[in-house]
Chain A
Amino acid sequence: MYTEEMLESIKKVEATRPERLHTEPRRLTAEEKDELLRQWHPDYREDAFDTIQIGPNKGQKAPKQLAELLHSNSRLYGMNIDLSRVDYDTDVLIIGGGGAGCSAAIEADNGGAKVMIVTKLRAGDANTMMAEGGIQAADKDNDSPVQHFLDAYGGGHFAAKRELVEQLVMEAPDAIKWLNELGVMFDKEDDGTMITTHGGGTSRKRMHACKDYSGAEIMRTLRDEVQNRQIPIIEFTSAVELIKDDKGQVAGAVLLNMETGDYLVARAKVVILATGGAGRLHYQNFPTSNHYGATADGLILAYRAGAPLLYQDTIQYHPTGAAFPSQIQGALVTEKVRSLGAQLVNKDGVAYLHPLETRDVSAAGIIRECKGRHEGVTTPLGDAIWLDTPMIEELGGAGTIEARIPAMLRMFLQYGIDMRKVPVPVYPTQHYQNGGVEIDTECATSIDNLLVAGECSGGVHGRNRLMGNSLLDVIVFGRDAGKSAAKRAAKVELGTPTLEHVARYAAELEAAGIHTGKVSPLLLPKYARHAREYEQRGFQFQ
């Protein structure tokens, strides 16, 4: 499968391996990290961003593809939707059936509210399902939530909302306990001690995992619990616009049956946006590790309704996306591979950077090594860095890879690459939306009755998220949003429903002279050949 050139380079990697097994590159100083990020992280490429022209974040930057969607009109603009003809009537409407949405549904149900989930694909079709490496919580003796706070806040470049980080870390152990009691099978020692490892930027080993199916194990358990409670899940139904009322609060959503094209009206006292991320917008033409439905829909809905975004200009590129072969290009190679000992190595076999720097630093380091120093190994798809996976077996013993990261082993074996024996080529892939709709500690936004949880929200992770804090985020804030929604729903009095904000937004766009000729939210990426907008990228969309 590998080319001659790659095989030649592997010989050099093997030659330096015995020495590297006992040594690791030093960690960068704060100044070195800042310099590396400024020069090589994609967030610093000014030509990849546009200025937002209207709305609460007017004047701020957003990735071009996101800005275009923010600058587009609702597909309902100019249409006459009869909001008095209610198809679904509920207390709490949850938009999105991933980790945050399902956690919210369970807690809102516990809180006595009538709950309903809508999701544009199937329940559990979400980035949560694809999270591999693990979930953080400070539950060991040498660790504390305070230490977790320092790691998360520092890793996010001291930009996060402190009260949200505090909430994240203080509720983390309870989140693990909650999942465990729902039946999630965490990796444990025989005496029940959680098996925990490092992630990039952690100062304590607090990464809990379920092999490398951590997110899948959590997601399928949460979904099963939602189904056991018989909470309605309306699948293949997207939300295309929030409904407000004459008091300015959110009062439901207009839904679209993805298969029939019918519009439907959902009336709700509280709406929770749990729509996830934006990988499928392919910022800067990066491939992505994300789910098919990751198109930033929640950001568009909230923004058009008037809610401000926070850190919409910071994107996480996971340092280790598969770089080859094409069938898995951009697919996630979990950070846990590095937690277990694999180093990042250039074409000459040099481990040029500590393997567990934070993701932004690590991604920038790979880009510099390939594009700046020309030390990447050339693959048929471009230059890449080796992730020296055979080290894992040398350090942890034969069989470690199959036991701890079976999904990774399976993914590469499918294409004849045995990661136990040869290193695998990696390059950054678009992975996570660090920012989103700004929330407070109750997951509330600036608009009454509109809550947000999970990747769609902004403020928890500052300008960079640590491994294992996203699964944690969807559980902690998903649950909190559900609890908060149930409480609020008991008090809400809805007024007359309206879509007036849609016309107002259109007028603002018109006044600013913006005409994209498109409608938003996107809902699904345009991958079909006749509709393909990303053809110039030159790679297939996995």
Chain B
Amino acid sequence: MEKMVNVYFYGKRYSVPESLTVIAAWEYAGYTLKRGVGCRNGFCGACATIYRIKGSNELHTCLACQKQVEDNMYIASIPFYPQDKRVYNINDLKVSDNIMMEIYPEIYSCIGCNACTKACPQNLNVMQYIAYAQRGEFEKCANESFDCVMCGCCSTRCPAGISHPYVGLLARRLTGKYIAPKSEHLEKRVEEIAEGKFDEPMKEMASLPTEKLQELYNNREIEK
């Protein structure tokens, strides 16, 4: 018999196998999840969850699909948190401008409490990437925030009401579009295709009989 632990979903006690993740425990208890569940693999951020272990006053945040249950866990799902995504046209932005001041000015109200960083289930240095954003260091902000799954745990703990994931996202889009070096080989290939350079060879290849294609495929040279 598997070892069981007690967990409390929204204050109500359920006995569940200790090997389960929080998501699986919810379902073991009989919940049919609609909100607060997503990819179940730690990539989508749908299952932001807050918990406290009975007897301790410390609040923890986690992704329910990535966290194994513990005994005496008091658990509440945060399936939606009113973050404030601002609307902008990426094509109109100039990285030389003080974009963050215009779009997310509240980041300058950060009081440096570091609660965001402590709350991040991805262990990102959230406060640091906000600091980079404040200074207009978009590329550093982008790299520091890259593994963000936008679960919003940081925002739930922020006294300044910052929507950190959207700040990181803006920095990444600026970096990807304007700051990262251009890929000349890519531009060149797109042009070659537009000019029709591959039209004839492609037509020729695509009209070969299957036997011929099999021969070509089975004997093709593979780059080392």
Task: Write the residues of chain A forming the contact surface with B, with a CB cutoff of 8 angstroms.
Answer: 27, 29-30, 121-122, 124-125, 127, 129-130, 137-142, 144-147, 149-151, 153-154, 158, 162-163, 165-166, 170, 173-174, 176-177, 180-186, 188, 190-194, 198, 203-205, 210-211, 213, 215-217, 220-221, 224-225, 227-228, 230, 236, 258-259, 289, 291-292, 325-328, 331-332, 406-407, 410-411, 414-415, 524, 526-531, 540-542
A142/B223 in contact, CB under 8 A: yes
B183/A125 in contact, CB under 8 A: no
B185/A193 in contact, CB under 8 A: yes
Closest residue of chain A to B198 (Cβ to Cβ) is: A145
Closest residue of chain A to B20 (Cβ to Cβ) is: A540
A259/B34 in contact, CB under 8 A: yes
Q: Using Cβ atoms and an 8 Å threshold, which residues of chain B touch A124?
A: 44
A541/B172 in contact, CB under 8 A: no
**Can you list 19 residue pairs at the A/B interface with Cβ under 8 Å?**
A30-B218, A129-B39, A139-B186, A145-B202, A154-B214, A163-B206, A173-B189, A177-B186, A186-B176, A203-B221, A216-B44, A227-B85, A259-B35, A407-B42, A410-B122, A411-B66, A527-B27, A528-B27, A529-B29
A185/B146 in contact, CB under 8 A: yes
B34/A139 in contact, CB under 8 A: no
Kindly provide the distance from the CB of B147 to the nearest chain A CB, expressed in whole angstroms: 6
Residue in B23, B42, B193, B210 whose beta carbon sits within 8 Å of that of A145 in the complex:
B193
A236/B34 in contact, CB under 8 A: yes
Kindly provide the distance from the CB of A192 to the nearest chain B CB, expressed in whole angstroms: 3
B169/A193 in contact, CB under 8 A: no
Q: Using Cβ atoms and an 8 Å threshold, which residues of chain B touch A227?
A: 85, 87
Closest residue of chain B to A541 (Cβ to Cβ) is: B24
**A224–B177 alpha-carbon span in the complex (Å):** 14
Known: A125-B39, A529-B29. A138 touches B186 (CB 8 A): no
Known: A121-B46, A129-B39, A228-B90. A170 touches B217 (CB 8 A): no
**A542–B220 alpha-carbon span in the complex (Å):** 39
**A188–B186 alpha-carbon span in the complex (Å):** 12
**A411–B217 alpha-carbon span in the complex (Å):** 36
A204/B223 in contact, CB under 8 A: yes
Known: A145-B198, A410-B122, A540-B24. A177 touches B190 (CB 8 A): yes
Closest residue of chain A to B181 (Cβ to Cβ) is: A192
Residue in B44, B176, B184, B189 whose beta carbon sits within 8 Å of that of A192 in the complex:
B184
B41/A153 in contact, CB under 8 A: no
**A457–B28 alpha-carbon span in the complex (Å):** 34
**A514–B58 alpha-carbon span in the complex (Å):** 57
Residue in A149, A174, A289 whose beta carbon sits within 8 Å of that of B202 in the complex:
A149
Interface residue B101 (Cβ < 8 Å from any Cβ of A): no
* Binary contact readout B201-216 vs A (1 if CB under 8 angstroms, 0 otherwise): 1100110001001101
A180/B32 in contact, CB under 8 A: no
Known: A180-B176, A185-B142, A227-B87. A150 touches B217 (CB 8 A): yes
A183/B176 in contact, CB under 8 A: yes
Interface centre among A122, A185, A211, A230 (most CB of B within 10 A): A185
* Binary contact readout B168-205 vs A (1 if CB under 8 angstroms, 0 otherwise): 01001111110011111111011001000010011001
Residue in A129, A153, A194 whose beta carbon sits within 8 Å of that of B213 in the complex:
A153
Q: Using Cβ atoms and an 8 Å threshold, which residues of chain A touch B169?
A: 220-221, 224
Known: A213-B147, A220-B150, A529-B30. A332 touches B41 (CB 8 A): yes
Closest residue of chain A to B44 (Cβ to Cβ) is: A129
A174/B43 in contact, CB under 8 A: no
Closest residue of chain B to A162 (Cβ to Cβ) is: B206
Interface centre among B35, B41, B187 (most CB of A within 10 A): B41
* Binary contact readout B112-123 vs A (1 if CB under 8 angstroms, 0 otherwise): 000000000011
- A sample of 16 more A-B contacts (CB under 8 A), given A154-B218, A292-B33, is A121-B38, A138-B189, A142-B223, A146-B198, A150-B205, A150-B220, A177-B187, A181-B177, A182-B177, A183-B90, A183-B177, A224-B85, A292-B40, A415-B68, A529-B27, A529-B30
* Binary contact readout B96-126 vs A (1 if CB under 8 angstroms, 0 otherwise): 0000000000000000000000000011000
**A176–B186 alpha-carbon span in the complex (Å):** 8
**A142–B19 alpha-carbon span in the complex (Å):** 50
Q: Using Cβ atoms and an 8 Å threshold, which residues of chain A touch B182?
A: 192
**A182–B35 alpha-carbon span in the complex (Å):** 29
Known: A154-B213, A410-B122, A530-B30. A188 touches B146 (CB 8 A): no
Kindly provide the distance from the CB of B47 to the nearest chain A CB, expressed in whole angstroms: 10
**A228–B88 alpha-carbon span in the complex (Å):** 6
Kindly provide the distance from the CB of B97 to the nearest chain A CB, expressed in whole angstroms: 16
Residue in B20, B44, B193, B216 whose beta carbon sits within 8 Å of that of A130 in the complex:
B44
B28/A529 in contact, CB under 8 A: yes
Interface centre among A125, A210, A531, A542 (most CB of B within 10 A): A542
**A414–B185 alpha-carbon span in the complex (Å):** 39
Kindly provide the distance from the CB of A176 to the nearest chain B CB, expressed in whole angstroms: 6
Kindly provide the distance from the CB of A409 to the nearest chain B CB, expressed in whole angstroms: 10
Residue in A141, A193, A291, A527 whose beta carbon sits within 8 Å of that of B38 in the complex:
A291
